[in-house]
Amino acid sequence: MKHDFEPKIVAFVCTWCTYAGADLAGTSRMQYPANVRVLKFPCTGRIDPVFILKAFQKGADGVLVSGCHPGDCHYMAGNFHARRRFAAFRKLLEFVGVDLARLEFSWVSAAEGGKWVEVVTDLTERIRTMGPLAEFKELETEEHWSGRLETAELKEAYNNI
Amino acid sequence: MSRIGVFICHCGENISRTVDVERVAQVTARLPGVAIALDYKYMCSDPGQNLLKKAVAEHKLDGVVVAACSPRMHEKTFRNAARAAGLNPFLCEMANIREHCSWVHEDREEATAKAIDIVKFTVSRVKKDRALAPITVPITKRALVIGGGIAGIQAALDIADAGHQVVLVEREPSIGGHMAQLSETFPTLDCSQCIMTPKMVDVANHPNIKLYTWSEIEEVSGYIGNFQVTVRRKARSVDEDKCTGCGVCMAKCPQKKIDNAFDRNLGTRPAIYVPFPQAVPNTPVIDRDNCTRFKTGKCGVCEKVCGPGAIDYGQQDQLIVEPVGAIVVASGFDLYNIGPKPADSPYEGYGEFGYGAIPDVIDGLTFERLASASGPTGGKILRPSDGKEPKQVVFIQCVGSRAREKGISYCSKICCMYTAKHTMLYKHKIHDGQAYVFFMDARTPGKNYDEFWRRAVEEEEAVYIRGMVSRLYQKGDKVVVMGSDVLVGVQVEIEADLVVLATAVQARTGADLLAQKLGISYDRYNFYSEAHAKLKPVECATAGIYLAGACQGPKDIPDTVSQASAAAAKVMTLFAKDQLEREPIVARVNERNCAGCLACKKVCPYGAVEEKEIRDRNGNLIKTVAYVNPGVCGGCGTCQATCPSKSVELDGYTDEQIMAMIEAL
Amino acid sequence: MSPNRKFALSYSYYPGCSLHASAKEYDVSTKGVFNALRIGLKEVPDWFCCGATPAHNVDELLSLALCAKNLSLAGKVEGDLAVACAACFSRLKTTQHRLKENDIKRKQVETAIDGPVPLGKKVKHLLEILAKDFGLDKLEGAVQKPLTGLKIACYYGCLLTRPPEVPELDDCEAPTIMENVIKAVGGEPVAWSHRLECCGANFTLSRPGVILKLSNEILASAKDAGADCIMVACPLCHGNLDIRQEEIEQATGRRYGMPVFYITQLVGLACGVSPLRLGLESMIVSPAALLREKNLL
Amino acid sequence: MKNAKMHLSTETMNLGFVKKVEALSGSSVRRCFQCGKCSAGCPMRSFMEHPPNRIVRLLQLGQWERVLAGRSIWYCASCETCSTRCPNKVDLAAIMDALRKLSWDAAGPSKESYVQLANRLFMENIRTYGRQYEMRLAAVFNMKSGQFLKDLMLGPKLITKGKLKMFHAKNQNVGEIERIFSRIEEMRKKGEAP
Ligand SMILES: Cc1cc2nc3c(=O)[nH]c(=O)nc-3n(C[C@H](O)[C@H](O)[C@H](O)COP(=O)(O)OP(=O)(O)OC[C@H]3O[C@@H](n4cnc5c(N)ncnc54)[C@H](O)[C@@H]3O)c2cc1C
Ligand SMILES: Cc1cc2nc3c(=O)[nH]c(=O)nc-3n(C[C@H](O)[C@H](O)[C@H](O)COP(=O)(O)OP(=O)(O)OC[C@H]3O[C@@H](n4cnc5c(N)ncnc54)[C@H](O)[C@@H]3O)c2cc1C
Ligand code: SF4
Ligand code: SF4
Ligand code: SF4
Ligand code: SF4
Ligand code: SF4
Ligand code: SF4
Ligand code: SF4
Ligand code: SF4
């Protein structure tokens, strides 16, 4: 089925759990929308909120961040720090005017091919109904999202980490 | 301008069925920086790999993208091929267009578009890739074992037998730990001393084992393969080299009435003592707190009677630095105390059992000493208050364990079994006596364990009562036990001569302090945490440190010994190589930018971040920065995402690489 | 209404129903002792019954409301609230404890009594006042006739220390506060096993058989431990151990003849309060012979 | 009934009742692992047909009728021994309170009438007089329970010792008490209080 709007979804995933889960969906020949582009990280702990902003800037309509279930982190606590960081980051995203529904956090383990399919499908559908993210692209020229602590919001977000 | 080669695999038809591989090749060939883009039926086959190698040479490629299956499948294959062609392997990346594309999408057009995107951002990434050299760390092939209980003894012997040097550090004057205190051991009832002492002697005589008793770990630095351990050898006041172990000093010491902790204070010992006759080493130590000479300067008998002149009152603590490559922690456990709650303890005491003030209420370890042939009563079971033979003995299980109101919710795992053992030992020694056991569950899941418990019930006629005890109180010379039998649904009252409590196994007091020195993690009960409950049960998350025995959680001897041997095997695996090679995915600090806030140190799950002082030529401190120890770093990247000034970078996943990918989306 | 200013320590006072009837000697002796120790005491005007066990037994909200109302009446009198009866003490403290923890219940209670609940008003049992506020040292100093040679079984009952988070009076399983008071006034506390067992208080009316069993065990245990007498800090315990003692003796055939004193009676005796102001004559098991034997009368 | 077979199904396990008990008592029922420590120390155990631990067990199984049918809950003395010593912090004394309330509200299928009668009289006494008058309480109880001669021997003794007042004065503030009772009744009618 063709749609008027094919959103671009960027997924930031960890190598050990979600990337492997997506592999499993592949080896099991499950099907899901082709809108998602997967970027691999060692751990969700490595994912800097700045990357998410950057992805939105670069035309992503939705972003998925997915890693190991709490307690299963390959690096023991990386995903725990990630979660705390993202909690602070949500505020920041709201501030710059991105609807939080465009950002999804999930846990997908290496054994959860089916869950990966579900998460990706649901997010794609959701973003499809939301339409393209226009507002934010205008910010593209502004390069101050480089992670420097210049705005009060970023500072606060970082202090909350 | 870079020269990247792109190789697109058909995977037979697995990819080409849904992805138009030729188109992918055409499009990617036009990308800036791409020197060549080819498609091929089976990239992983020999001809496929040769194709890649040839192209690297012919086109002088400085980067390679293989668009094929998941990197989890063949990244190693292609990186090796790149290395063979003279390219740094870390300049070779895979684009996953099979598992993440051709297999999960049906629409050929969409799948092809997606495959192009995937190749595109991977190309951008490779352009920012840096050549990385695998990290090699030299290994000091000596091991440190902390704790000389059965766990430490077993681990030390295994490693030493494999031909490696072992430093065994024991806090007490003798090795042996708790097992040396036991009488007979379940499930076979062999005498603990009989199976233990030969091993202790082996330790003392082993040419590869350096034994430090009466010693503590002072400081640990370094990382896997390269630890520096400072050991404090406490002053023994006896020269170990001169002492012959004749024991004359102990016999003559006038200060004889000191509670013998090894015998759970049931007996006494002199001020110069070995904790028990079979001690290893058999060298006494002067208990300076109780020695008359140290208190008043008056005595000195032992010095006079010692033939070889081994007594040395002036001995000082010594600090010795030992370089080791691996550490086995085997510091064991303590028993929960039912007395009033000390201010620093997280655990409540047992007011309802009289806070330990009723003399004929003892714990299981004290019972072991009573039953031990070498114990204070010579193996006769006599109760502490009046030395009479107890005819009615009540055992109570789960005291402190499984009692969240006291602060502990776990099961101590060994007490069901040792209580069954105690009822048997009791029956064997006092035939006309009766043992009663108050219990909730009999947890006996081990080989021959349930049979053992059933034997206690069926053959040795222990009366098991399914229920707990509300209160104990002294009545005349009896201890009244107010319990209940929940199966019958009535209260049970027994006037006991002796009550034995199966108190919880808890972590060593101060276990957290040792963990902090070692940089290993521990749970909320201070038991040391393994890296993975099922798959890495003897490794710590901190590389190069391994766990053995009850320091990790309650364990009986079979489990302890298995884990000790497993830990030894892990040490030997490490020592099998001369150098430690690992993926160079580690974090590095840009010392110029680093503000020294140490936010990275706070979040690093591996404790890999250290403080480093930057000094000028005159040695003046300029600033403190973070330093990531590459031997320890696990490569998670949490530090980089956390660093407010972006001063720490994870090789292989730099901001530059990732931003390049996002830009290319 | 301020309490008597001439004393360093002074309290508002909630005697509870029993002290105006079956336990009048507790009331009399409390006033006698406090007067002798120069501790101020001012009764809360128009206090109600706290609801005791029957109320919380079947209707927690009512029980909380009654206690809350009493607390708010007590709020009108300055000073921490001194309570003599262990049951009232337990109910008042429980009310504060529960309502502090539970906002929903607190709102319901506030509606029921149509006003705020003074959760901050300190509720103290007489024991606490004597042992902690006044202090054991001063108590020792006030002794004129030490209770030398008097072997006393200190009986706490169930409500003075339990559940531990509510009364916060002493260790709930191994309290020493009563024994400490007795030692301060020169008495000899005996070690015995039933200090904390329940006497069956609540059943005195409906099921006296219960009392016969439970209180008998307490009396027997005290006797076996060599006590001359029992000391209590609760009128309900007293009722069961003293008033029903003869009945218990008849039922079991064992003679106890064990006087049961209130703590204030013994402290009063030691501090030289006239026996006439201690209500000794109201005790059913007469202490006269015992006290004479120990030269205390 | 007591020993009849238990048929367990989601229909026969009244877990709604258990939730009510948990809400009223503020204590978990599930946490109990049936160690029996509560029953071991309960001074009233021998008067009950179900030991306290079994009350909790029956609740875990949603067997509300079996719990309420007996006299066990009415024989609990609220001594708090069980709650104090339970290794799992199950507040059994509070659970007993909750059960009595629920039984009381349901006009109690319980067999224990004397304790209930005494409780009721006690409460009526408070409502009418503001304070307890032991003499009156005893007299009315004996009359209503048909045990006219109960404690006959105690009376004169107490009176001579001045311990029972024959006459009493009403509390000045008794109207306030009545208002508390009626406000609570009103809240309950409106469903604002349990
Ligand atoms: C009453 C009782 C009866 C038991 N009966 C049996 C039985 O019948 N069968 C059975 O299989 N198991 C039995 N066990 C269990 C058995 O005792 C343990 O499994 C075993 O002792 C665990 O050995 P370990 O070496 O891990 O610890 P431990 O025996 O505790 O040894 C630890 C050693 O480390 C030393 N140490 C501690 N901290 C430091 C430090 N910081 N630096 C240096 N040294 C340190 C200690 O001094 C000690 O020597 C029983 C246990 C108890 C309590
Ligand atoms: C229902 C159930 C649930 C469980 N749940 C858990 C759980 O949640 N957590 C947990 O920790 N454990 C659990 N376990 C236990 C767990 O399954 C075992 O501990 C574990 O599988 C044991 O591994 P093994 O390698 O020793 O034996 P196995 O898994 O039995 O492997 C033995 C292998 O050897 C092969 N083999 C046998 N004979 C020969 C031969 N002659 N020659 C060559 N090959 C041979 C077999 O084909 C098999 O592949 C569970 C077990 C069961 C039954
Ligand atoms: S110190 Fe001297 S006397 Fe003592 S055991 Fe050694 S050699 Fe013998
Ligand atoms: S000097 Fe000390 S150890 Fe030596 S004999 Fe005298 S008291 Fe004993
Ligand atoms: S092993 Fe047995 S006695 Fe020990 S805590 Fe577990 S269940 Fe209780
Ligand atoms: S056999 Fe299995 S189910 Fe039974 S007690 Fe043992 S471990 Fe539990
Ligand atoms: S977080 Fe960054 S700035 Fe702070 S210490 Fe670490 S590397 Fe340096
Ligand atoms: S990459 Fe992870 S393990 Fe390495 S230093 Fe940074 S936080 Fe620690
Ligand atoms: S003491 Fe607690 S856990 Fe044990 S049976 Fe009673 S309620 Fe259950
Ligand atoms: S509160 Fe009730 S159930 Fe609990 S021990 Fe006391 S009488 Fe028994």
CB B15 within 8 A of CB B112: no
B243/A110: higher pLDDT: B243
D97/D136: higher pLDDT: D97
The SS3 of residue B199 is: helix
DSSP string, C224-250: HTT-SEEEES-HHHHIIIIITHHHHHH
Ligand 8 centroid to Cα of residue B576, in Å, is 27
- What pLDDT is recorded for position A145? 39
Domains of chain C: 9-125 (1.20.1050.140), 136-293 (3.40.50.11810)
Residues in Cβ contact with B131 at an 8 Å cutoff, skipping those fewer than 6 apart: B88, B90, B91
Longest dimension (CA), chain B: 100
Residues in Cβ contact with C103 at an 8 Å cutoff, skipping those fewer than 6 apart: none
A95/C285: higher pLDDT: C285
Q: Taking the alpha carbons of C86, C87, C90, C96 in that order, is the dihedral positive or negative?
A: negative
B330: closest CA of chain A, how far (Å): 23
Span A54-76, mean pLDDT? 84
CB B214 within 8 A of CB B172: yes
Nearest CA to ligand 10 atom 8: D42
Examine residue A33 and state whether it is found in any structural domain, yes or no: yes
Examine residue A3 and state whether it is found in any structural domain, yes or no: no
* D47 touching B (Cβ < 8 Å): no
Residues B665, A59: C-beta atoms closer than 8 Å: yes
Tokens encoding B121: 């951002």
CATH number for B587-664 (one of 3.30.420.40, 3.30.360.10, 3.30.70.20, 3.30.56.10): it is 3.30.70.20
What is the 3 state secondary structure string of B437-451? EEECCCCCCCCCHHH
pLDDT > 50? residue A143: no
For chain C, how big is the Rg over CA atoms in Å?
19
Residues of B609-625 as b/e, b for ≥16 C-beta within 10 angstroms? bbebeeeeeeeeeeeeb
* B480 touching C (Cβ < 8 Å): yes
Architecture of domain B335-506: 3-Layer(bba) Sandwich (3.50)
Strands B165-169 and B142-146: parallel
CB B397 within 8 A of CB B413: no
CB B582 within 8 A of CB B135: yes
CB B152 within 8 A of CB B170: yes
* B602 touching D (Cβ < 8 Å): no
Tokens encoding B270: 């002199």
Longest dimension (CA), chain A: 47
Beta bridge partners of C123: C81
Residue type, B526: N
The SS3 of residue B633 is: coil
- What pLDDT is recorded for position D22? 96
pLDDT band for position A146 (cuts 50, 70, 90): very low
Please report the atom of ligand 5 found closest to the CA of residue B441: 7
Q: Taking the alpha carbons of D117, D123, D128, D132 in that order, is the dihedral positive or negative?
A: positive
Residue D153, burial from CB neighbour count under 10 angstroms (0-12, 13-18, 19+): exposed
Ligand 5 centroid to Cα of residue B171, in Å, is 29
Nearest-5° Cα angle at B144, B138 to B150: 145
Residue type, C205: L
Do at least 3 CB pairs under 8 Å connect D with B? Answer: yes
B473: closest CA of chain C, how far (Å): 6
| Domain around A123 | 9-160
Cα–Cα distances (Å) from A117 to A32, B70, B100, in that order, read 6, 17, 11
For chain B, give every domain's residue range: 4-127, 142-234+317-332+509-575, 248-305, 335-506, 587-664
Tokens encoding B88: 């740094």
Domain count, chain A: 1
- Of the candidates B211, B271, B243, B166, the one whose C-alpha atom is nearest the C-alpha of residue B568 is B166
Domains of chain D: 15-107 (1.10.1060.10), 114-190 (no CATH)
- In chain C, what residues touch B473 (CB-CB under 8 Å)? 193
Q: Does residue B232's CB lie within 6 angstroms of at least one atom of ligand 5?
A: no
The secondary structure of chain B in percent helix, strand, coil, rounded to multiples of 5, reads 30, 25, 45
Cα–Cα distances (Å) from B28 to A135, B52, B106, B112, C278, in that order, read 31, 16, 22, 12, 106
Span D132-145, mean pLDDT? 74
Tokens 């079991």, residue located: C252
Strands B215-223 and B226-233: antiparallel
Examine residue A80 and state whether it is found in any structural domain, yes or no: yes
A71/B135: higher pLDDT: B135
Examine residue A4 and state whether it is found in any structural domain, yes or no: no
Q: Does residue B406's CB lie within 6 angstroms of at least one atom of ligand 5?
A: no
Residues in Cβ contact with C293 at an 8 Å cutoff, skipping those fewer than 6 apart: none
What is the rounded distance in angstroms from the CA atom of residue C144 to the CA atom of residue D134? 37
Q: Does residue D57's CB lie within 6 angstroms of at least one atom of ligand 9?
A: no
- Of the candidates C191, C188, C186, C187, the one whose C-alpha atom is nearest the C-alpha of residue C174 is C191
Q: Does residue B306's CB lie within 6 angstroms of at least one atom of ligand 3?
A: yes
Residues in Cβ contact with B303 at an 8 Å cutoff, skipping those fewer than 6 apart: B309, B311, B313
Q: Mean pLDDT per segment of 10 residues, for chain B of length 665 residues? A: 92 95 95 95 95 95 96 93 95 96 95 96 94 89 98 98 98 97 96 94 97 96 90 97 96 96 95 95 96 94 96 96 98 96 92 96 98 95 97 98 96 98 97 98 96 97 97 96 96 98 97 90 90 88 92 98 98 94 89 90 88 90 91 87 88 92 89
CATH number for the domain harbouring residue A94: 3.40.50
Q: Does residue B635's CB lie within 6 angstroms of at least one atom of ligand 8?
A: yes
- In chain C, what residues touch B350 (CB-CB under 8 Å)? 173
pLDDT band for position D175 (cuts 50, 70, 90): confident
Residue B261, burial from CB neighbour count under 10 angstroms (0-12, 13-18, 19+): exposed
Cα–Cα distances (Å) from C57 to C213, D20, D102, D135, in that order, read 22, 16, 11, 22
> Which 49-108 residues of chain D touch chain C by CB within 8 A?
75, 77-81, 83-84, 91, 93, 97-98, 100-101, 104
B142-234+317-332+509-575 topology per CATH: FAD/NAD(P)-binding domain (3.50.50)
CATH code: domain B4-127 is 3.40.50
Residue type, D154: L
How far the first Cα of chain B sits from its last, in Å, is 21
pLDDT digits (tens, 9 = 90+) for D6-33: 999 999 999 999 999 999 999 999 999 9
What is the rounded distance in angstroms from the CA atom of residue C110 to the CA atom of residue C68? 8
Examine residue A148 and state whether it is found in any structural domain, yes or no: yes
What is the rounded distance in angstroms from the CA atom of residue B428 to the CA atom of residue C74? 67
- Of the candidates B5, A13, D116, the one whose C-alpha atom is nearest the C-alpha of residue C54 is D116
pLDDT band for position A144 (cuts 50, 70, 90): very low
Length, in residues, of chain D? 194
Alpha carbon C290 to chain centroid, angstroms: 22
Length, in residues, of chain C? 297
CA dihedral B185, B190, B193, B197 (to 10 degrees): -120
D15: closest CA of chain B, how far (Å): 23
| Beta strands, E only, B550-663 | 579-582, 587-589, 609-615, 621-628, 648-650
Mutate which of B648, B649, B650, B654 for ligand 7? The one with the most ligand atoms within 8 Å of its CB, which is: B648
How far the first Cα of chain D sits from its last, in Å, is 30
CA dihedral B529, B534, B536, B539 (to 10 degrees): 30
- Give the residues of chain C that fall short of pLDDT 70: 1-6
Longest dimension (CA), chain D: 62
pTM for the model stands at 0.84
Tokens encoding B350: 């047992």
Tokens encoding B182: 């036991």
Tokens encoding C40: 């101020």
pLDDT > 90? residue A97: no
Q: B587-664: same fold as B4-127?
A: no
C192: closest CA of chain B, how far (Å): 8
Q: Taking the alpha carbons of A40, A42, A43, A44 in that order, is the dihedral positive or negative?
A: negative
Cα–Cα distances (Å) from C147 to C129, C185, C267, C290, in that order, read 20, 6, 9, 12
